[in-house]
Structure 1
Amino acid sequence: MTPLESLRRRAETLHLHGLLAHWPELADSTWVEPLLAWEEAERARRSLERRLGCAHIGRFKPLADFDWNWPTQCDRTAISELMGLDFLHSATNVILVGSSGLGKSTIAQNIAYQAVLHGHTVLFTTAGQLLNDLAALDSDSALRRRLRHYAAPSLLVVDEVGYLSYSNRHADLLFELINRRHETRSTLITTNRSFSDWAEVFPNAACVVALIDRLVHHAEIIALKGESYRHKEAREHAEQRSRKRKATAGSTP
C-alpha cells in the first residue's frame, strides 16, 4: 500500500466524506496527514472519555501503590497476567475471593480501567446495585432491555458478592445475566464468601449450583488471604495519634 493509499484508507475509516469527495486534488496537500492525525487523536480521546464515563469505575488506588506484602496470600503473577487482558479474548471469567479489606475491589478496578484504556467496553457495579436495579423493574420488556444492558460490555465487574443476602428472585436474575454472558463475554466477580457459602448469600435459591457452575466453567480463581488492610491502617493511625498525644503531654511543663 502506497502512502497516499494509506492516507485515503484513514480518511475512509474516519468517514471524512467531504475530504474524500475532493481527494484527487487534495491528496498531495501537506496538511492532509496532520489533519487526519488530529482527527484520529481527538476521536480516540473522546471515545476513551465516553467509555470511562460509562464504566462507572470510580476512584481507586493504582496497583503501583498496592502493598503486595500485606496479604499473606496473593498471587501477584496471576494478577499481573490479568492486567494483560488476554482473558477477555477467551471470555474467561475472573473470581477474586477473600475477606474484606484485602484489595479485591482495588484489583478489580485496576483491571477494569486497563480494559477501558485498551478499547474494551466495561461496566463496574456492586452486586447490590445490579440486583436491586433488575429486581425493581416491573415489566418483562423493561427487564429484557436492562439485562441486555448488563450483558453487553466486554467486561462486567460485579463487586461485593456475599456482603448481603438476596432473595430467590435476585438469584434467578443473576443466573439469567451470567447465563447470557457465559462463553461470550468475561465477568469479574469479587466475593468475601467461598462458593460453598453462597447458599447463605442466596438462601433457598434453586439456581445457586447452576450459577456457580456457569461462573467457574472458564474462570481464573484467585484467593487473597490476610488481615484487613483497612484495619491495619486504622491501627497505625491510632498508634500515631497515641504517640503524638504522649509527645505533647511530655513536652507540657
Structure 2
Amino acid sequence: MTSPEPDNGRERAARLHMYGLVAHWQDAFEAGWALTLLEWEENERAKRSLERRLKDARIGRFKPLCDFDWSFPTRCDRQAIDALMHLDFIRDAANAVFIGPNGVGKSTLARNIAHHAVLNGHTALFTSAGQLLGELAAIDSASALRRRLAHYTAPALLVIDEVGYLSYTNRHADLLFELISRRYEIKSTIVTTNRNFADWHEVFPNAACVVSMVDRLVHNAEVIAIEGQSYRLKEATERSEQRAVDRKPESP
C-alpha cells in the first residue's frame, strides 16, 4: 500500500512549470522519487535566484554588521538600525536616510541592509548618486530614459549612496525627483548623505524641486543621524602606527 500523496506536491510541481511531472505525478510519486526531484529543483532554483539577485544588486565588498564598531560613532541609533534589518520598512514601502560626515559608516550600514534584504528574497540595487545621475543625464533619448528610470524603479530596495558629495545641475535634480516620485509609497529607498536637508539647495543649486524631493523622501522614513570621526582615518592611523612599530629595530 502506497503512502498518501502530499496535498501540495502536485501544486509545487505546477508552480515550477514541471508539466511533465504534473501529468505523470501519481506514477512518479508511487515510484518514490517525485518529492526528491521537487526538492532538488526548488533548492537549485532558490540558489540561482539568490546568486542572480546578489549580482544584480551590485552591493560590493563591505564590513559585516557583526564587525561594526558601535562604540566608535559618538551618535548612532543602533535600535533604529536593528529595526531596519528586520526589513519591515520594505514591506511598508518606507524609506531610510543616513545623515553624517564622511567615514562614520553610513555606506557600510546601507550595504548590510541591502545584502540582508537580498538574502531574504527581496530585490535590491546599490548605486552612488554620482553614478546614477551621471548615467541618467547622459541619456538623450526619451524612450531610453524611460527604460532606465524603470530599471531603477524596479528593485524593492534602492540604495542611493553619497548624496551631497558633489553638486548637480537642475537636470540632475529633476531626474532624481522623478525617480523618487516613481518609487514614492511603492518601493523603498535608502539614501546616505553628508548634508542636512537644509543644505540640499547647495547640492542642487537653483533647482525648484528640492523641497518636494525631500518631502517625498522623508515622508514615512526613518532618518538616522550618525556623528563621529572618520573610521577610515582611524584605521589608517592605526596601520601607520603599527608599521612604525614593525620598522623599529630591536634593541641589542
When normalised by structure 2's length, the TM-score is 0.96
Structure 2: how far apart are the matches of 1:157 and 1:126? Answer: 8
Q: Tell me the equivalent position of 2:54.
A: 52
SS of equivalent residue, structure 1 residue 221: strand
Deviations 1:184-234 (A, max 9, x none): 100000001110111111011111111100101110001100000011111
Match of 2:216 among 211, 214, 217: 214
Distance 1:218 1:3 in 2: 47
Alignment gaps of 5+ in structure 2 = none
Q: Percent identity?
A: 64
For 2:229 and 2:50, the matched residues in 1 are separated by: 36
| Counterpart Cα distance in 2 of 1:23 and 1:240 | 66
Q: Look up the match of 2:72.
A: 70
1:109 counterpart = 2:111: yes
Tell me if structure 1 keeps the 8 A contact 2:167–2:202. yes
* Separation in structure 2 between the aligned mates of residue 162 and residue 131 of structure 1, nearest angstrom: 12
Is 1:29 equivalent to 2:31 in the alignment?
yes
Deviation at 1:3, TM superposition (A): 4.4
Q: Which residue of 2 aligns with 1:80?
A: 82
Give the Cα–Cα distance (whole angstroms) in 2 for the partners of residues 70 and 24 of structure 1: 62
8 Å contact from structure 1 (residues 171, 207) kept in 2: yes
The answer as to whether partners of 1:4 and 1:27 remain within 8 angstroms in 2 is: no
> Which of 123, 134, 137 does residue 136 from structure 2 map onto?
134
Cα displacement (A) at 1:236: 1.3
Deviation at 1:235, TM superposition (A): 1.5
Give the CA deviation at 1:14. Answer: 1.0
Whichever residue aligns with residue 18 of structure 2, its letter is L
Report the TM-score, using the length of structure 1 for normalisation: 0.95
2:127 is matched with 125
Deviation at 1:244, TM superposition (A): 3.0
The alpha-carbon deviation at position 29 of structure 1 amounts to 2.2
Query: Please, which moves more after superposition, 155-164 or 236-245?
Result: 236-245
Which AA in structure 2 matches 1:14? L
Tell me which amino acid in the other structure corresponds to 2:110: A
- Aligned-residue RMSD, C-alpha: 1.2
CA contact (8 A) 2:126 2:159 kept: yes
Structure 1 residues 193, 3: closer, same or farther in 2, change over 3 A? farther
